[in-house]
């Protein structure tokens, strides 16, 4: 376990998947990250790369060849190199090798840079193309924030507050793929109260979210967090069935549509990075 720490916060990470494991306030003792109970979902905050969501038939074609990838790609199951920049900054790095090229025929360097601040954590995705041809990829986050139940507060005492949305239009999921069918959730004062039933049909997937900040707040304890994100054209909100957490997922990419032709270059949301170029996006969480 690798640790970042300052006077206010402690964060722990694993080199396996470059995964954030905990983010704890020294002031109130709260760990804001889901504790990965295996009976619900044994992850904390997996990295989604080089795809997000599922591929149609779990496969794609590129350059005349067919390749298979599991849902959300392979980065979350890889061992990353670790560089401790300082007591408050870490850099995890994953590079293409002969094994990744069997399922993903590209040269790449994927960096995950975590920086601890006075009141939160910044997570940055840094992608480089060291090759001499285009790199096609998607990348995104899947952090699970704990919504602990107490004698005073239940799951429905948690709210998601959107800074720029009056209602939420989401795309329904069919066999792990994005359907053409949409539904709309009304918001009251830009606020959605959490219920377990919201996620019984899988994630809520958004292509037109206007907000760049979502606040998760416990209305009884008044504790929570502000989740800031910019430059992510897609967003997912999810929880495992009846589990006491919620995932806020900023995505540069999305699962295949039900009618997709399986060509990687035609995949919705795919990013094309030219040879010898770099790309980055980040999200940040502020605790209260």
Contact 105, 61 (CB under 8 A): no
Domain extent at residue 199: 2-287
Q: Over its length of 288 residues, how does the chain's per-residue pLDDT go in tens digits?
A: 899 999 999 999 999 999 999 999 999 999 999 999 999 999 999 999 999 999 999 999 999 999 999 999 999 999 999 999 999 999 999 999 999 999 999 999 999 999 999 999 999 999 999 999 999 999 999 999 999 988 888 999 999 999 999 999 999 999 999 999 999 999 999 999 999 999 999 999 999 999 999 999 999 999 999 999 999 999 999 999 999 999 999 999 999 999 999 999 999 999 999 999 999 999 999 999
Number of domains forming the structure of the chain: 1
Cβ contacts of 172-177, under 8 Å, gap ≥ 24 = 172/201, 173/201, 173/202, 173/203, 173/205, 173/255, 174/258, 175/258, 176/53, 176/54, 176/71, 176/202, 176/255, 177/53, 177/54, 177/56, 177/255, 177/256, 177/257, 177/258, 177/260
What is the domain-level CATH number for residue 99? 2.70.98.10
What is the per-residue pLDDT across 36-61, written as a single tens digit (0 to 9) for each? Answer: 999 999 999 999 999 999 999 999 99
What's CA 236's distance to the chain center, in Å? 8
Q: Is 157 helix (H, G, I), strand (E, B) or coil?
A: helix
The pLDDT tens digits for 60-69 are: 999 999 999 9
């Amino acid at each position: 376990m690798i640790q970042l720490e300052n006077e206010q916060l402690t964060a722990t990470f694993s080199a396996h998947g470059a995964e954030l494991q905990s983010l704890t306030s020294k002031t109130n003792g709260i760990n804001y990250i889901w504790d990965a109970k295996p009976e619900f979902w044994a992850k904390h905050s997996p990295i989604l790369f080089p795809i997000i969501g599922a591929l149609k038939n779990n496969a794609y074609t590129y350059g005349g060849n067919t390749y298979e990838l599991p849902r959300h790609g392979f980065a979350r199951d890889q061992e990353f190199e670790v560089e401790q920049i300082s007591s408050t900054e870490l850099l995890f790095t994953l590079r293409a090798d002969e094994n990744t090229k069997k399922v993903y025929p590209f040269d790449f360097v994927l960096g995950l840079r975590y920086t601890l601040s006075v009141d939160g954590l910044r997570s940055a995705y840094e992608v480089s193309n060291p090759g001499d041809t285009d790199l096609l990829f998607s990348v995104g986050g899947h952090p699970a924030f704990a919504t602990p139940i107490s004698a005073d507060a239940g799951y429905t005492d948690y709210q998601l507050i959107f800074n720029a949305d009056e209602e939420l239009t989401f795309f329904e999921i069919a066999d792990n793929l994005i359907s053409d069918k949409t539904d709309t959730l009304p918001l009251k004062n830009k606020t959605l109260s959490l219920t377990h039933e919201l996620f019984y049909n899988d994630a809520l997937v958004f292509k037109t979210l206007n907000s760049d900040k979502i606040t998760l707040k416990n209305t009884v304890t008044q504790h929570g967090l502000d989740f800031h994100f910019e430059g992510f054209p897609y967003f997912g909100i999810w929880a495992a069935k009846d589990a006491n957490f919620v995932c806020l997922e900023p995505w540069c990419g999305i699962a295949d549509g039900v009618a997709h032709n399986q060509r990687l270059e035609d995949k919705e949301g795919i990013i094309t990075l030219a040879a010898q170029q770099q790309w980055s996006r980040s999200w940040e969480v502020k605790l209260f």
